[in-house]
Amino acid sequence: MLKLLAADGIDPDIQAHYRLIASVHDTIGLHTHDFFELFLILKGSVVHKVNGTRQLLRENTLVFIRDRDVHCYEQTSEGDCQFINLSFYKEVIDELFAFLGAGFPSGKLFEPELPPTLMLSKTEKEYVRYRLDQINLTPINRKLAVKAEVRALLTDLFSRYIRITADKADPYGQPDWFRKLCQEMRKKEHFTKGTSALVQLSGKSHAYLCRVFKQQLKISPTRFINDLRLSYAENLLLNTDMDILDISLETGLENVSYFYELFKRKHGMTPYRFRQFDSPAAVRVTCEG
């Protein structure tokens, strides 16, 4: 088994290496390595053979390769594939997870047999590509700047996208349409509209969605949407001065009493008390006192 070593191919001062791979023919055979990777498929499709399983990956797919994964790429009958690869030291991922803290479910990224995989929207793909390209645009002789750009990028991508796969109990057992639906519903323009947006985006009946959500996530579609609303409300409470009434409306909950009920059920306190205890201003007062 071929094992690639970070010390042989990654600059130790930057601790990361960026590559644009124009063809599957430019990749090597079955291998493993002592470093981590992210790769994003820009065009076409590819068969990703990983840990004994063959996955068909299409354009816009983002994959996190761990240091224990054994993998290679094979061309599909549909043609060639172009993708971006970012390799980085184990030390980089360790420092990233330490920075993100206990609230980030890093351990769940290593539990599944297959590596975390996420299908992005076209807009999200272009955003990730833009962020990756910033590494390549930074002059290589400015190694500290490149190193900082890599860490800023990884913090953004893991907190914005990779954590979605970690939050799922079994992302690989879920139908592709269901994963895409849950991802789309995380957007404000959708979760604020409630279950009607869920039904419209899926093209399936409400009853069928209830069965699938119970099966895949062990919760109802309404609970899924309300959790998204409450997460958004928590952010507004902690980081803005918006009135609680306006925050309720902003999340799509026009019944403020229901908003209070949901919030107290989750946190054991009202939104007002939550803002008092957990806002940055409250923390400063406590520290200064």
Q: Which H helix or E strand runs over 143? A: helix 143-157
The per-residue pLDDT string of the chain (289 residues; one tens digit each, 9 = 90 and over) reads 799 999 999 999 999 999 999 999 999 999 999 999 999 999 999 999 999 899 899 999 999 999 999 999 999 988 899 999 999 999 999 999 999 998 888 888 988 888 999 888 888 888 888 888 888 888 888 999 999 999 999 999 998 888 877 665 444 457 888 888 988 998 999 999 999 999 999 999 999 999 999 888 888 999 999 989 998 898 888 888 999 999 999 999 999 999 999 999 888 889 998 888 655 444 333 333 3
* 3 state DSSP class of 4: strand
* 3 state DSSP class of 115: coil
pLDDT at 62: 94
Looking at the domain covering 192-288, what would its CATH class be? mainly alpha
pLDDT at 282: 41
Is 172:114 a contact under the CB 8 Å cutoff?
yes
| pTM, 2 dp | 0.59
CA separation for the pair 127, 112 (Å, rounded): 27
Q: Which fold has domain 2-173?
A: Jelly Rolls (2.60.120)
CA separation for the pair 55, 117 (Å, rounded): 10
Residue ranges covered by each domain of the chain: 2-173, 192-288
E strand spans, the chain: 2-4, 16-21, 31-33, 36-50, 53-58, 61-65, 71-75, 81-88, 117-119
